[in-house]
Amino acid sequence: RLGAWASHQSEVIPDRTTLEQTVADLRKKFADGNVPLPPFWGGFRLRPSVMEFWQGRENRLHDRIRYTQKDDLWVIERLAP
């Protein structure tokens, strides 16, 4: 959360030292450990039940690995290209 407060994504900053100093200042500001979400923060929580990873290879013999959630376990399967 400190990173969200310290860094407005894709904004130009002078150098890394400035970013690190901003984080240090925020650590002092939120010294009690309660760091609220910034008002400009947004996000999504994804809970996938199936994921597939694809890695292209020569001759169309691509690697495809599928992860499928079954109960509390993930089943891993290799798929034909």
Write out the catalytic residue numbers.
60
Q: Are 22 and 15 in contact (CB under 8 A)?
A: no
Q: Are strands 73-79 and 63-70 parallel, antiparallel or unpaired?
A: antiparallel
Distances in Å between the alpha carbon of 23 and those of 11, 39, 41, 78? 16, 17, 16, 43
